[in-house]
């Protein structure tokens, strides 16, 4: 999903937010570390072993040089033991580093898994409205970045920042004991200047880095958007136009990268200058003492080796500093998702639905998606248990909304909805939703096989039950005509099956769920008349003994309903059986005549 979201501007975290963020993050990380305390301890031991080996290397080097530096006398023997020790230390340094990574990898990965799962479950607990407002691509990027940020923080705080500080300290102590405190002073001051310079320049560079990343994101999402709309681009012969827009984004990206690279040049050359100055100063000091015969040549080499070794991890400091800041922001974004409270939850004293017959009652229901615009107003109606009710009305009248409210996707603005006399807002969501099977107006399928998509209605159903559902939904013929049968994969969002086939898969799925209340929202709108009649018959069979709500535009499909409700402007305009409504010669009768005329 990389690049799916367009340039979401990263908020600039303030210093204070960052501090609370860090403590919050550490508090959150702690249980994960604690859970693996022995492993973490072993990793720390490996880290210490690696650092010790690395710190001893320059010492070994010094003795090798001193052994070889015998003045005018001929060399007696190779310092074999020292050479082997030197090689051994070098190997140990790398080896223990790898051991540390291997040990700690499990800890970070487990934390990533736990946190990823927590966010995923949390997202499923959030209401529909939240998901309609957000871009799924953006959320998945937030999760991906957040978990990556977590692993980055865990690794770098423990194994980069802390050990590097320790190493600086160790070198300072070694210099002070072996030579003089002046050496330590030069080292510490140089490192201090280096860190200060890096932080300041990195802050200054931030805007260029962000610009470059943003340009990268927009370019990426532009390309994906264009390719997703492949068909639309072709329908309007707009390849040229698409290429131009894409190129204008690429051009911005190019300039942003240029600025970014120049600022990196400033950072890197400044760092190199500080390192060079520090090394020169120390070498000057040491060389002077070699001339005065206070130090050996080996000492000089050792000082040089320590300095190079010390600045090596500091080379990454700019990167690490920037990445830690970014990781904190990413984590904060993800934790922000976790902090969001679900709006639709079980009430504290929620009870499971006690289903007797499946009677539905809407009692003066008021509802609006966005406050000023009412969708349903004082809507009241009854669906007797086991009966079939049809809802008709103009597009946008609020028919699908009724189904969504029954499923408790949104809280009501006023009034209540009851099933068998129990207010649905006092029931557990799980028991409520188990009792209702919906064939939605727009079915979206998973990108898996037809059979798996149907099985989704009730994952533990038997193969025979699935076959039965396929038969009832009149899918058997279609499936038999496919080379791969019901193992055929339906493509992203089910785009590789026709609209009518998709609807029948959705019907089979709902049949399989086997709930006592059925809701069909335009479930046969995409079917030809012959298939529709066959399916309607099947739906009648299935709906026998069930309470069913059928939403339809084509009135001929609902003439057999026990009650037909005509919805207009969120209110009930008329209600009655087909014959009654025709006799009343109102809205329904007008709609009926219009549709009859069209058919002839």
Ligand X SMILES: Nc1ncnc2c1ncn2[C@@H]1O[C@H](COP(=O)(O)OP(=O)(O)OP(=O)(O)O)[C@@H](O)[C@H]1O
Note the residues at the interface with ligand X (CB under 6 A): 132, 369-370, 375, 395-401, 441
The minimum distance between CB 399 and ligand X, in angstroms, equals 3
**Contacted entry of ligand X, Mg ion, none for residue 219, CB cut-off 5 to 8 Å set by kind:** none
The owner of tokens 């310092």 is: 79
**Contacted entry of ligand X, Mg ion, none for residue 51, CB cut-off 5 to 8 Å set by kind:** none
Asked if residue 576 lies in contact with residue 593, where contact means CB atoms within 8 angstroms, the answer is no
Cα separation, 439 vs 433, in Å, equals 13
Q: What is the chain's alpha carbon radius of gyration, rounded to the nearest angstrom?
A: 36
The minimum distance between CB 518 and Mg ion, in angstroms, equals 16
Cα separation, 377 vs 53, in Å, equals 77
Residues 6 or more apart whose CB falls under 8 angstroms from that of 538 comprise: 472, 473, 474, 507
CA dihedral sign, ordered 570, 576, 579, 581 = negative
The minimum distance between CB 384 and ligand X, in angstroms, equals 23
The minimum distance between CB 499 and Mg ion, in angstroms, equals 15
| For ligand X, the closer CB: 545 or 595 | 595
Cα separation, 148 vs 429, in Å, equals 33
| For ligand X, the closer CB: 302 or 397 | 397
| For ligand X, the closer CB: 119 or 403 | 403
**Contacted entry of ligand X, Mg ion, none for residue 396, CB cut-off 5 to 8 Å set by kind:** ligand X
Closest CA to 399 of 549, 535, 540: 549
Structure tokens given for 40:
């973490």
| For ligand X, the closer CB: 69 or 442 | 442
**Contacted entry of ligand X, Mg ion, none for residue 222, CB cut-off 5 to 8 Å set by kind:** none
The minimum distance between CB 368 and ligand X, in angstroms, equals 8
The minimum distance between CB 394 and Mg ion, in angstroms, equals 11
The minimum distance between CB 359 and Mg ion, in angstroms, equals 24
**Contacted entry of ligand X, Mg ion, none for residue 481, CB cut-off 5 to 8 Å set by kind:** none
The minimum distance between CB 142 and ligand X, in angstroms, equals 22
| For ligand X, the closer CB: 401 or 548 | 401
Q: 30: exposed, middle or buried (C-beta count within 10 Å: 0-12, 13-18, 19+)?
A: exposed
| For Mg ion, the closer CB: 57 or 375 | 375
**Contacted entry of Mg ion, ligand X, none for residue 398, CB cut-off 5 to 8 Å set by kind:** ligand X
**Contacted entry of ligand X, Mg ion, none for residue 154, CB cut-off 5 to 8 Å set by kind:** none
| For ligand X, the closer CB: 220 or 400 | 400
Which residue's Cβ has the minimum distance to Mg ion? 400
The owner of tokens 């009851």 is: 418
Closest CA to 453 of 528, 461, 537: 461
Asked if residue 175 lies in contact with residue 187, where contact means CB atoms within 8 angstroms, the answer is yes
Helices and strands counted in the chain (H then E): 20, 10
Which parts of this chain interact with Mg ion (CB under 5 A)?
400, 441
| For Mg ion, the closer CB: 353 or 551 | 551
CA dihedral sign, ordered 461, 463, 468, 473 = positive
The minimum distance between CB 551 and Mg ion, in angstroms, equals 6
**Contacted entry of Mg ion, ligand X, none for residue 375, CB cut-off 5 to 8 Å set by kind:** ligand X
**Contacted entry of Mg ion, ligand X, none for residue 11, CB cut-off 5 to 8 Å set by kind:** none
Strand 388-393 and strand 547-551: pairing? parallel
The minimum distance between CB 367 and ligand X, in angstroms, equals 9
Complete edge-to-edge strand list for the sheet that includes strand 517-521: 436-439, 517-521, 547-551, 388-393, 563-568, 571-576
| For Mg ion, the closer CB: 392 or 508 | 392
| For ligand X, the closer CB: 404 or 509 | 404
The minimum distance between CB 377 and ligand X, in angstroms, equals 12
Please give, one letter per residue, the 3-state secondary structure of 192-246: HHHHHHHHHHHHHHHHHHHHHHHHHHHHHHHHHHHHHCHHHHHHCCCHHHHHHHH
Which secondary structure element, helix H or strand E, spans residue 122, and what is its range? helix 80-125
**Contacted entry of ligand X, Mg ion, none for residue 369, CB cut-off 5 to 8 Å set by kind:** ligand X
How far from 429 is each of 127, 340, 425, 439, 461, CA to CA, in Å? 12, 19, 8, 19, 22
| For Mg ion, the closer CB: 383 or 392 | 392
Q: How far is CA 490 from the centre of its chain?
A: 24
**Contacted entry of ligand X, Mg ion, none for residue 401, CB cut-off 5 to 8 Å set by kind:** ligand X
């Amino acid at each position: 999903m990389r690049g799916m979201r367009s340039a979401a501007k990263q908020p600039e975290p303030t210093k204070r937010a960052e501090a609370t963020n860090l403590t919050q993050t550490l508090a959150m990380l702690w249980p994960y570390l604690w859970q693996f305390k022995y492993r973490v301890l072993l990793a720390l031991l490996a880290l210490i072993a690696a650092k010790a080996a690395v710190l001893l290397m320059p010492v070994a080097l010094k003795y090798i040089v001193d052994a070889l530096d015998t003045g005018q006398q001929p060399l007696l023997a190779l310092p074999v033991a020292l050479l082997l020790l030197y090689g051994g230390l070098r190997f140990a340094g790398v080896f223990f580093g790898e051991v540390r990574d291997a040990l700690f990898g499990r800890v970070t990965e487990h934390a990533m898994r736990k946190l990823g799962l927590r966010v995923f479950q949390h997202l499923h607990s959030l209401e529909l409205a939240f998901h309609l407002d957000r871009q799924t691509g953006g959320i998945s990027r937030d999760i991906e970045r957040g978990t990556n940020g977590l692993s980055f923080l865990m690794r770098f705080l423990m194994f980069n920042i802390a050990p590097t500080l320790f190493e600086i300290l160790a070198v300072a102590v070694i210099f002070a004991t072996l030579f003089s405190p002046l050496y330590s002073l030069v080292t510490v001051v140089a490192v201090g200047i280096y860190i200060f310079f890096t932080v300041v320049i990195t802050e200054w560079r931030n805007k260029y880095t962000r610009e470059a990343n943003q340009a990268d994101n927009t370019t990426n999402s532009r390309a994906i958007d264009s390719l997703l709309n492949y068909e639309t681009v072709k329908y309007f012969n707009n390849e040229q136009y698409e290429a131009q827009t894409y190129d204008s984004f690429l051009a911005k990206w190019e300039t942003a990268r240029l600025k970014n690279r120049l600022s990196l040049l400033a950072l890197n050359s400044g760092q190199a200058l500080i390192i060079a100055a520090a090394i020169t100063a120390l070498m000057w000091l040491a060389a002077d003492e070699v001339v005065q015969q206070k130090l050996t040549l080996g000492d000089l080499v050792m000082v040089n080796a320590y300095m190079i070794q010390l600045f090596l991890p500091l080379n990454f400091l700019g990167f690490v500093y920037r990445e830690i800041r970014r990781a904190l922001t990413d984590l904060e974004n993800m934790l922000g998702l976790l902090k969001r409270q679900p709006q639709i939850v079980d009430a504290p004293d929620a009870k499971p639905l006690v289903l007797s017959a499946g009677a539905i009652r809407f009692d003066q229901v008021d509802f609006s998606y966005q406050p000023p615009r009412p969708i349903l107003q004082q809507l009241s109606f009854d669906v007797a248990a086991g009966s079939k009710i049809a809802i008709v009305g103009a597009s946008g009248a609020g028919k699908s909304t009724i189904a969504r409210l029954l499923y408790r996707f949104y809280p009501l603005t006023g009034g209540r909805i009851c099933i068998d006399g129990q207010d649905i807002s006092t029931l557990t969501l799980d028991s409520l939703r188990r009792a209702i099977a919906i064939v939605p107006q727009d079915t979206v399928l998973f990108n898996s096989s037809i059979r798996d998509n149907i099985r989704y209605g009730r994952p533990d159903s038997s193969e025979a039950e699935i076959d039965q559902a396929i038969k009832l939904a009149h899918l058997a013929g279609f499936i038999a005509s496919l080379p791969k049968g019901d193992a055929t994969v339906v493509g992203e969002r089910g785009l590789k099956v026709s609209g009518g086939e998709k609807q029948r898969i959705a019907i089979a799925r709902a049949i399989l769920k086997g709930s006592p209340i059925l809701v069909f929202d335009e479930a046969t709108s995409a079917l030809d008349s012959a298939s529709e009649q066959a399916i309607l018959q099947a739906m009648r069979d299935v709906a026998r003994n069930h309470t069913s709500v059928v939403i339809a535009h084509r009135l001929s499909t609902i003439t057999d309903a026990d009650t037909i409700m005509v919805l207009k402007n969120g209110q009930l305009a008329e209600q009655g059986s087909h014959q009654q409504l025709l006799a009343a010669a109102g809205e329904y009768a007008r709609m009926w005549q219009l549709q009859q005329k069209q058919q002839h």
